[in-house]
């Protein structure tokens, strides 16, 4: 069931809830160029969209090695032009850059000077999101009175989230500016992506399914190359060189030698770092086996796993099951428990809704998640799981100081893992500061405001579920379910909430659904 074409909230009547300006008229004229109208037109439209996405993703990376100022200027112009004149493509540009940017960074890694250069180049997809959001939000802000109550209420919820994040960003900047900036990107991205999808869908009824089908096919092709011949994949994306750049400081610090003495595992090259126990858990005991873990075009296994799970859900809900089947082995080799649990619980809740009704389904899901949290924490403490220890560290910090320490204080991304004493933490039942858990890190950094931000996410999930009660479209139900589940996964993973490819994509889907529904509701008032 396509998430736009067959949506019960696809068709609207009357004017869209915003003031038409000269820019809007130009946008409407450009939107007609290649607009989907038949198979050939749809193919042309998707091709044009991919060219635009490729240009916005690759040009700043290539130009960066000539002049960073030139790269930023070119990037700003390209993204601004998209926001102003090709608005329906804004969410698609975001999705493409998030999934594929790191692959292009890897291809250009021969030109990287040091780790700081590497980190800077990887920030272009965040810059893409923020430029798009600023233009879209600015247009909304200038015309907010012309929107209906539903739209303004949803936008208001997002502003509450931005406000909470902003307060703790300023607090973090006073302590650790670089750490605060790193965590600002992680924490704010889901809400930014949500509003990009939401505001765009208010103004456009352009079908997105053909684009996501194309993205799914690309991900499958690249995934099978990586799965069948890892060395060929690394040659294609220049992964050997990227690993050298990313691990230069560790090599100079003899980190591999220290690790070899402690664990007996010798890391000779990037392939050794990919060898992990299946699902990376001691729960399998002697039944566990070693796999060569996949990282995908985004060069990060856990985020890649969420991408695969997200695309699987979209394809199944759009009756393209034949594209889900080849994703399954890729998902297993990405070997991340969280995304698999998300899919299992979401489809179970969807089945419960069909059999027993909407109220039973959401109630049963919340009950199962409560049990999942309890069992996860108890089991994690018994086996010394790093994620649970990190979450308990966050809880301990929160109890000691519930007002929060500011963004960038604690967490994986600002911790020196070479100096961590995990045996001591396992004995203590917690880490000294929060890490390895998004919720734990948020409790440490944002204190009691964490519950406010999570409440915003939960409220958005509830609004999507309300839409599903009227539309009775499976995708609307499952979008709400996976948003709730990934919030809970954030207790046991940092990536679940902090990766734009996890919570970010899911928030985007919810934003699109709510935008379509809000446009219909407001035009009927």
> Of the candidates 497, 416, 408, 486, which has an alpha carbon nearest to the alpha carbon of residue 446?
408
Return the pLDDT at 523: 47
- CA 111 to the chain's CA centroid: 28
Q: Find all residues with CB under 8 Å of 474, minimum gap 6, and list them.
A: 1, 317, 350
Report how far residue 252's alpha carbon sits from residue 452's, in angstroms, rounded to the nearest whole number: 43
Half-sphere exposure of 225 (CA within 13 A, CB side): 14
Backbone angles phi, psi at 12, to 5 degrees: -135, 160
Report how far residue 453's alpha carbon sits from residue 458's, in angstroms, rounded to the nearest whole number: 9
Q: With respect to residue 274, please indicate whether it lies within any of the assigned structural domains.
A: no
Return the pLDDT at 126: 97
Return the pLDDT at 13: 31
Q: With respect to residue 15, please indicate whether it lies within any of the assigned structural domains.
A: no
Half-sphere exposure of 489 (CA within 13 A, CB side): 28
Report how far residue 190's alpha carbon sits from residue 243's, in angstroms, rounded to the nearest whole number: 28
The domain of 408 spans 44-249+293-523
Q: With respect to residue 382, please indicate whether it lies within any of the assigned structural domains.
A: yes
> Of the candidates 334, 151, 135, 121, which has an alpha carbon nearest to the alpha carbon of residue 242?
121
Return the pLDDT at 244: 85
Q: With respect to residue 166, please indicate whether it lies within any of the assigned structural domains.
A: yes
Report how far residue 228's alpha carbon sits from residue 186's, in angstroms, rounded to the nearest whole number: 32
Return the pLDDT at 89: 95
Return the pLDDT at 518: 86
Q: With respect to residue 258, please indicate whether it lies within any of the assigned structural domains.
A: no
Please report which residue ranges of 325-448 form alpha helices under DSSP H. Answer: 327-334, 337-356, 358-383, 386-400, 422-428, 438-446
Identify the segments of the chain with pLDDT beneath 50.
Answer: 1-24, 26-27, 29-37, 251-255, 257, 259-260, 262-263, 523-525
User: Is residue 87 within 8 Å of 204, Cβ to Cβ?
Assistant: yes
User: Is residue 56 within 8 Å of 48, Cβ to Cβ?
Assistant: no
Q: With respect to residue 31, please indicate whether it lies within any of the assigned structural domains.
A: no
* HEC sequence for 15-68: CCCCCCCHHHHHHHHHHCCCCCCCHHHHHHHHHHHHHHHHHHHHHHHHHHCCCH
Report how far residue 494's alpha carbon sits from residue 498's, in angstroms, rounded to the nearest whole number: 6
Helices and strands in the chain: count of H runs, count of E runs: 26, 2
Return the pLDDT at 207: 81
Q: With respect to residue 505, please indicate whether it lies within any of the assigned structural domains.
A: yes
Q: What pTM does this model have? A: 0.90
Return the pLDDT at 230: 95
Structurally, the chain folds into a number of domains equal to 1
Q: With respect to residue 312, please indicate whether it lies within any of the assigned structural domains.
A: yes
User: Is residue 8 within 8 Å of 477, Cβ to Cβ?
Assistant: no
Question: What is the tens place of the pLDDT at every residue in 264-294?
Answer: 555 667 888 888 888 777 666 666 778 899 9
Strand-pair partners of 292? 275
């Amino acid at each position: 069931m396509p998430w736009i074409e067959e949506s019960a909230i696809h068709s609207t009547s009357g004017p869209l809830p915003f003031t038409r300006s000269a820019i809007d008229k130009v946008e409407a004229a450009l939107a007609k160029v290649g607009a989907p109208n038949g198979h050939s037109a749809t193919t042309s439209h998707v091709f044009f969209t991919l060219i635009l996405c490729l240009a916005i993703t690759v040009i700043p990376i290539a130009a960066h090695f000539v002049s960073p100022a030139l790269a930023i200027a070119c990037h700003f112009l390209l993204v601004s032009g998209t926001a102003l004149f090709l608005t329906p493509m804004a969410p698609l540009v975001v999705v493409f850059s998030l999934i594929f940017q790191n692959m292009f960074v890897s291809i250009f890694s021969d030109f990287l000077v040091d780790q700081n250069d590497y980190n800077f180049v990887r920030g272009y997809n965040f810059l893409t999101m923020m430029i798009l959001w600023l233009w879209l939000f600015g247009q909304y802000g200038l015309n907010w009175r012309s929107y209906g109550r539903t739209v303004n209420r949803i936008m208001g919820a997002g502003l509450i989230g931005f406000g909470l994040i902003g307060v703790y960003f300023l607090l973090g900047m006073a302590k650790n500016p670089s750490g605060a900036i790193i965590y600002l990107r992680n924490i704010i991205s889901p809400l930014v992506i949500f509003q990009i999808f939401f505001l765009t869908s208010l103004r456009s009824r352009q079908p997105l399914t053909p684009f996501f089908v194309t993205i799914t096919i690309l991900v499958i092709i690249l995934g099978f190359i990586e799965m069948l011949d890892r060395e060929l994949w690394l040659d294609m994306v220049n992964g050997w060189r990227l690993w050298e750049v990313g691990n230069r400081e560790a090599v100079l610090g003899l980190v591999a030698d220290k690790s070899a003495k402690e664990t007996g595992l010798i890391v000779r090259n990037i392939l050794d770092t990919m060898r992990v126990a299946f699902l990376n858990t001691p729960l399998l005991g002697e039944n566990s086996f070693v796999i060569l873990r996949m990282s995908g075009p985004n060069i990060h296994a856990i985020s890649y796993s969420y991408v695969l799970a997200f695309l699987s859900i979209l394809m199944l809900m759009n009756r393209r099951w034949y594209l889900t089947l080849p994703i399954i082995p890729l998902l297993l080799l990405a070997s991340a428990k969280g995304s698999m649990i998300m899919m299992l619980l979401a489809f179970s809740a969807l089945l419960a809704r069909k059999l027993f009704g909407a109220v039973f389904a959401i109630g049963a899901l919340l009950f199962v998640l409560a049990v999942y949290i309890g069992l996860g924490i108890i089991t994690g403490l018994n086996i010394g799981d790093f994620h649970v220890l990190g979450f308990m560290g966050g809880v301990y910090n929160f109890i000691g100081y519930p007002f929060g320490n500011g963004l960038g204080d604690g967490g994986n991304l600002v911790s020196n893992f070479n100096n961590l004493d995990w045996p001591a933490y396992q004995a203590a039942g917690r880490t000294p500061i929060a890490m390895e858990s998004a919720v734990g890190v948020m409790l440490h950094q944002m204190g009691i405001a964490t519950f406010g931000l999570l409440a915003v996410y939960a409220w958005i999930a509830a609004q999507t579920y309300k839409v599903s009660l009227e539309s009775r479209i499976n995708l609307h139900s499952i979008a709400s379910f996976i948003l709730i589940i990934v919030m809970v996964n954030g207790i046991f993973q940092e990536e679940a909430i902090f990766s734009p490819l996890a919570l970010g994509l899911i928030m985007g889907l919810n934003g699109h659904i709510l935008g379509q529904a809000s446009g219909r509701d407001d035009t009927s008032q």
